[in-house]
Structure 1
């Protein structure tokens, strides 16, 4: 009886003792591997209520890369939109136009990328419903290092002059 009890204790205790044997370096590596490599702050989505086009909008945010290597925001998804793309504003034939950003949005090592109106942004198209201030939109950001961020982004009123979210039109300034 004592042998069986001793064996049961060994069987239960052995995995615990083995896990205690992990080095600090191994544990730090495991924590670092699971930690987000890009920090996302101040995210918001432009409300569509009152806009000329309520079928699309944009998400804006600040991305910080505390690491030693550049990382790219490669894609984004949202159940609130039928299509999501990464966009930029660029000069074309003397006009400022919106276009898909080929290759994604770079977040330099030890620096920031600001997604803002009239600049890089996450474009939400084919919206499933109109968005009003106070709503929340789920957005998933995917990065070149394989990490992703699941966000719940607040919808805010657009307080500047309304911009045109069409690739062929010039935004108002």
Structure 2
């Protein structure tokens, strides 16, 4: 499901404030840069508000944000819906005991880590990131949360690159996005 198909009038402001940077971080990649969205308070607030409207009242207890851009959207969503925020970080960024999940992404390999005990069995989780491309990062987040005993209710991204078929890797988990880029 996406807000695009629902034709929410706020989508235009969100879409027009995301810049595309060719050949970053390597040749052939069309990088979707949300930092320009963050410079526009109304468009940024609209994005947060759309997520909050979707998840308020859904009994979500955990908002898990994927480093680093999921950290920009996840905390305000968590605060607004009364959930805790759990950062899913790159290796060697969290002190103490961690769980980890390795994954393949569009231009390499990576790993996500989460503190042991940050999520309890039976909690209802929302995974938040800025973008889904091949789905490797979001899938790793789902796997990590489920190994901790959480139920992943849905995944939410500002942007989807549907031609890269990331949605297909989510094993049927619902994915809500605001804008698509083909």
* Larger proportion of helix: 2
Give the structure with the higher percent strand: 1
User: Which structure is richer in relative contact order (CA contacts within 8 A, separation 6 or more)?
Assistant: 1
Give the TM-score category using the shorter length: under 0.3
TM-score (norm 2): 0.23
